[in-house]
Amino acid sequence: MAASKSVATDSGWHAGIFRALKAADVRQVPYVPDAGHSELIRRAHADPVMNAYPLTTEEEGVAAAAGAWLGGERAVVLMQSSGAGNCINMLSLIAACRFPFLTLVTMRGEWAEFNPWQVPMGRATQGAFELMGVSVRRITDTAKAESEVAAALDDAFLGEQPVAVLFSQSLIGRKTWIK
């Protein structure tokens, strides 16, 4: 079976995002494995204060973030846009209980997409989050990644609101099939 591989265009911006997570005292990083988040996942696993752990599906991340908040910690969920649709029903937990929530979403189905299965959810991701009351920020410039994530952390944890930060597929890089 073939897998996909990301050909990153620039990875230095991941360090800035990780600095923002550390500065905001994020302690839990639940994630669905994704090449676009691999640098953040690696850094979170290596950090002695953070607890990074894989999920079997994205909606588990919503519950994990709520549980972290109830336990006095901050969590940021890492996922890909293709899994954002899995979270729609669970986002009602965030809305009903008024939990802060932040997810960092690598986009698929847009720039240089080779897999047609990624396109429908890529087109629907922002609207789906917005319909569920989640504020959406879109990052298309690596120079703004750290400051945008820092602002989203403030919105989520100081403003106690749900926020999704969407990273344009052009930032993550072109994906290709591995044979």
Q: How distant, in Å, are the alpha carbons of 45, 54, 78, 112, 142 from that of 161?
A: 26, 24, 17, 32, 24
**Across residues 38-67, what is the average pLDDT?**
97
The mean of the pLDDT values for the chain is: 91
Range of the domain at 66: 3-178
- Based on the number of CB atoms within 10 Å of its own CB, is 98 exposed (0-12), middle (13-18) or buried (19 or more)? exposed
Please report which confidence band the pLDDT of residue 2 belongs to, taking 50, 70 and 90 as the band edges.
very low
pLDDT of residue 120: 78
pLDDT digits (tens, 9 = 90+) for 43-56: 999 999 999 999 99
Amino acid, single-letter form, for residue 4: S
* CATH number of the domain where residue 98 is located: 3.40.50.970
pLDDT of residue 137: 97
pLDDT of residue 114: 82
pTM of the model: 0.90
Q: How far apart are the first and last CA of the chain?
A: 8
Q: pLDDT at residue 1 above 60? A: no
- Composition of the chain by helix, strand, coil, percent to 5: 50, 25, 30
**Across residues 137-158, what is the average pLDDT?**
97
Q: pLDDT at residue 179 above 60? A: yes
Phi/psi class of residue 25: alpha, beta or left (left: φ > 0; alpha: ψ in -120 to 50)? left
For helices 145-157 and 12-23, angle between their N-to-C axes, nearest 10 degrees: 20
The total number of structural domains in the chain stands at 1
Contact indicator for 3, 175 with CB cutoff of 8 Å: no
Number of helices (H) and strands (E) in the chain: give both, helices first.
8, 9
